[in-house]
């Protein structure tokens, strides 16, 4: 009988967490606080960047890994004046279902329903689910939104993925060539170059492309069409020094490539549902 994947309850920096592990060696660690994926090891390498200076106090948002941004992206949303930056889903505790385990994959779902804490920010009734699917060389994260209210629900958001890179100044990202691009630093619009490079601060929103992106010829990144945008971000040296939860040189080891809804909120009718995913796949050497 072949070995099965495992799921065990653990802690990380004092926060309750779940660890998924495959017999082939791939591992994933997710904190219940924020349903925040902290680590994904595949092929013996850490594929996500987690800041060693991130606050793990169960109050502040965690810097790195995969934050879940909901119900707004940055401070763009129907209630931007009332909601925390990037919403509140990354700042509250979620609940984990029992994992589904097989010999070649593991699936774990974390859930968040409206509660007394969320209603201090947002009066909406809702149910969120983050489905984590780990297989050899691949990770897929799927966010589901269910409007359990009797009024419409409008939201924006993102899977704000921090990918680990050896040196971002040498990194290349392909797959967005020709897509509409907004540079938020200069407030200018253009078409994306075939190959993106990161020699300076970079913060751009793209119309999501139909093909997977390729980072450093080592990782494919794809997303469902239900996310309208792809965001690519690196703070570079000057901004990084102003981020209290990042080492001064941490910017060199990370690049955010996010499946996102930035410009136009998604509106669900009463009882309506929406789902959007991002998939990361390691390319064979």
**Which member of 105, 160, 181, 220 is catalytic?**
160
Cis peptide bond prior to 71, omega within 30° of 0: yes
To the query of whether residue 19 is one of the catalytic residues in this protein, the response is: no
To the query of whether residue 264 is one of the catalytic residues in this protein, the response is: no
Residue for token pair 């419409």: 152
Q: Which residues are catalytic?
A: 160, 258
């Amino acid at each position: 009988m072949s070995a099965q994947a495992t799921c065990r309850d653990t802690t990380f920096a004092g926060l309750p967490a779940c660890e998924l592990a495959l017999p082939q060696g791939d591992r994933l660690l997710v904190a219940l606080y924020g349903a925040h994926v902290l680590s994904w090891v595949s092929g013996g390498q850490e594929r996500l960047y987690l800041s060693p200076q991130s606050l793990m106090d169960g109050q502040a948002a965690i810097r790195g890994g995969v934050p879940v941004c909901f119900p707004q992206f940055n401070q763009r949303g129907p209630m931007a004046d009332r909601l925390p930056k990037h919403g509140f889903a990354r700042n509250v505790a979620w609940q984990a279902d029992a994992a589904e385990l097989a010999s070649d994959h593991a699936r774990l779902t974390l859930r968040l329903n409206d509660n007394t804490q969320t209603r201090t920010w947002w009066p909406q009734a809702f149910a969120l689910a983050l489905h984590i699917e780990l297989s050899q060389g691949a990770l897929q994260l799927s966010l589901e939104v269910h409007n359990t209210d009797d009024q419409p629900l409008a939201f924006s958001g993102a899977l704000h993925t921090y990918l680990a890179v050896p040196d971002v100044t040498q990194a290349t990202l392909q797959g967005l060539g020709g897509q509409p691009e907004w540079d938020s630093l200069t407030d200018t619009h253009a078409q994306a170059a075939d190959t993106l490079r990161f020699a300076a601060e970079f913060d751009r929103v793209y119309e999501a492309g139909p093909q997977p992106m390729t980072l450093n010829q080592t990782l494919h990144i794809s997303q469902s069409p239900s996310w309208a945008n792809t965001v690519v971000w690196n703070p570079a040296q000057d901004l990084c020094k102003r981020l209290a939860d990042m080492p001064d040189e941490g910017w060199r080891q990370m690049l955010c490539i996010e499946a996102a809804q930035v410009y136009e909120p998604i509106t669900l009718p009463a009882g309506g549902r929406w789902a959007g995913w991002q998939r990361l796949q390691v390319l064979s050497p």
